[in-house]
Amino acid sequence: MKNARIAIFASGNGSNAEEIIRYFKHHPTIDVSLLLSNNPDAYALQRAENNNIPSKSFDRATYKETTLLLDWLSEANITHIVLAGFLWLIPDYLLKKYPGHIINIHPALLPKHGGKGMYGMRVHEAVKTAGDTVSGITIHLVDANYDEGKVIFQATCQIGNQDTPEQIASKVHALEYQHFPRIIESWIL
């Protein structure tokens, strides 16, 4: 396969983005080439800078009403988009430009605890409230709806009765770091 170039979309801290950047740092055919954020204060932008990855931020109007993001992606020769804690619904123009080439990770076992507004600690609190004994991650293709794209991979962790939402989050983060970069690699290759 010719070289793949990834753009990571992130809204917050960027710990998954940094794991992905590290994983592909010396990869022979896959390169993390750009990080985009809808939050100008996202620590993910600093993580990109620390790793010499070009980054840009944008606002909702730019995202929904212009094609500036397409220009940025084109300039960087992006072939694949990875959502790593990105909270906005992907617009049609990106879905059309990158069909089957946008992937997301969700911090629960979809279809449970997914959909609009289900992100971060909200997901882990919902898992706790539901009394689930198992949680995990879902890596899926992105379509026009939140968390409904074709599932590529799931991994699970046990949840104890005494586990707090914070402890559940810690278990789920460990799965994200362990699996997401490797699944991105196998998806691309």
pLDDT of residue 172: 97
pLDDT of residue 1: 54
Whether 106 is catalytic is yes
Read off the tokens for 122: 């909200």
CA distances from 36 to 9, 13, 93, 101, 170 (A): 5, 13, 16, 16, 25
One fold for both 1-99 and 104-179? Answer: yes
Point out the catalytic residue in the list 80, 101, 106, 140. 106
The yes/no answer on whether domain 1-99 falls in CATH 3.40.1160.10 is: no
Q: What are phi and psi of 68, to 5 degrees?
A: -55, -40
- Note if the pTM is more than 0.85: yes
d(CA 35, CA 103) in angstroms, rounded, equals 14
Q: Is residue 79 left, alpha or beta, with left meaning phi > 0 and alpha meaning psi from -120 to 50?
A: alpha
Per-block average pLDDT, block size 10, for the chain (189 residues)?
A: 90 96 97 98 97 97 95 98 96 96 97 94 97 98 96 98 97 97 97
d(CA 56, CA 45) in angstroms, rounded, equals 8
Question: N- to C-terminal Cα distance for the chain?
Answer: 7
pLDDT of residue 180: 97
pLDDT of residue 173: 96
Other Cβ atoms closer than 10 A to 149: 22
pLDDT of residue 47: 97
Q: Which DSSP string do the residues of 91-108 spell out, in sequence order?
A: PHHHHHHSTT-EEEEESS
Cβ atoms of 124 and 169 within 8 Å: the answer is yes
Q: 104-179 sits in which CATH class?
A: alpha beta
Helix runs in the chain, H state only: 15-24, 43-50, 60-65, 68-75, 92-97, 121-130, 165-188
For residue 40, cis peptide bond before it (omega within 30 degrees of 0): no
What is the domain partition of the chain in residue ranges? 1-99, 104-179
